[in-house]
């Protein structure tokens, strides 16, 4: 479903079994030896998600990517698992786009989780100029996802992102404002055994292609 030029919503892109496996994977990652944490942004406020970056770390104080979590505990982020890279590439291809992601931001939303309207513009300028997409995969409770325009004040569409949905925005949509205004608790499919919501956004921080390892 094309929401706007370059923006595609794929409802139920993942089967229930795929969602269940991904939920387990995400849970193990966020509670692993390099755990998710609540970032404090440069204005001093706490984000309303638990975040874990894979591959490269997004520093909430500098809004830059780095190889260690220098705004938190100094640890290197866990690697981006190859099968998750492959998943992102396959989803992008369904939207007629290509991505070779080197990082993923994995966010956990509890019942009060949300994320303000923002642009994803901290990836490399060449990647953004090339329109290499952001690939988003949602698991668990339904989110009210806001998708706006290229200016913060542009009107926004509210889209329900349900468990297993994918959303891809690249090309002319790459810098559209977006956010999550709320989660609807208790809407995750019971089979996946998840309270809350995981969202994974795969990104490519430069325009160069890497071989899949």
Contact flag: residue 59 with ligand AKG (CB under 6 A): no
How far apart (Å, rounded) are the C-alpha atoms in residues 64 and 61?
8
The residue range among 11-19, 36-44, 62-70, 137-145 that interacts with ligand AKG, by the rule CB under 6 A, is 137-145
CB of 27 to ligand AKG, least distance (A): 17
Cα radius of gyration (the chain): 16
Q: State whether residue 137 is helix, strand or coil.
A: strand
Residue 127 lies near ligand AKG (rule: CB under 6 A): no
Exactly one of 71, 120, 141, 165 binds ligand AKG (CB under 6 A); that residue is 120
**Binding of ligand AKG by 199 (CB under 6 A):** yes
- 194 sits near ligand AKG (criterion: CB under 6 A): no
Q: 12: alpha, beta or left, given left = phi > 0 and alpha = psi -120 to 50?
A: left
Judged by CB under 6 A, does residue 136 bind ligand AKG?
Answer: yes
Token pair belonging to 3: 């929401």
CB of 136 to ligand AKG, least distance (A): 5
> How is the chain split among helix, strand and coil, in percent rounded to 5?
20, 35, 50
Which residues in the 174-193 window bind ligand AKG by CB under 6 A? 178, 180
Measured torsion, CA atoms of residues 32, 33, 37, 40, in degrees rounded to the nearest 10: -160
Residue identified by tokens 């070779």 is 100
Q: Which is nearer to ligand AKG, 54 or 105 (CB)?
A: 105
Where on the chain is the footprint of ligand AKG (CB under 6 A)? 105, 107, 115, 120, 136, 138, 143, 145, 161, 178, 180, 199, 201
């Amino acid at each position: 479903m094309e929401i706007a030029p370059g923006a595609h919503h794929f409802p139920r892109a993942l089967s229930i079994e795929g969602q269940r496996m991904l939920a387990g994977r995400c849970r193990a990652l966020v509670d692993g030896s390099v755990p998710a944490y609540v970032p404090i942004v440069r204005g001093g406020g706490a984000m309303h998600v638990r975040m874990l970056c894979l591959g490269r770390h997004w520093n909430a104080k500098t809004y830059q990517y780095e190889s260690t979590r220098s705004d938190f505990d100094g640890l290197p982020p866990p690697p981006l698992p190859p099968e998750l890279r492959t998943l992102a590439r396959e989803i992008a291809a369904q939207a007629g786009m290509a991505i070779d992601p080197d990082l993923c931001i994995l966010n956990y939303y509890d019942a009060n989780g949300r994320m303000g309207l923002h642009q994803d513009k901290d990836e490399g300028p060449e990647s953004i100029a090339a329109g290499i997409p952001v690939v988003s995969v949602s698991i668990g409770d339904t989110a009210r996802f806001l998708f706006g325009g290229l200016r913060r004040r542009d009107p926004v569409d509210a889209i329900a992102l349900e468990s297993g949905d994918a959303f891809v925005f690249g090309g002319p949509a790459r810098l559209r404002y977006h956010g999550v205004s709320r989660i609807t608790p208790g809407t995750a499919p019971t089979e996946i055994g998840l309270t809350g919501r995981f969202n994974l956004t795969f990104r490519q921080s430069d325009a160069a292609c890497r071989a899949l390892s």
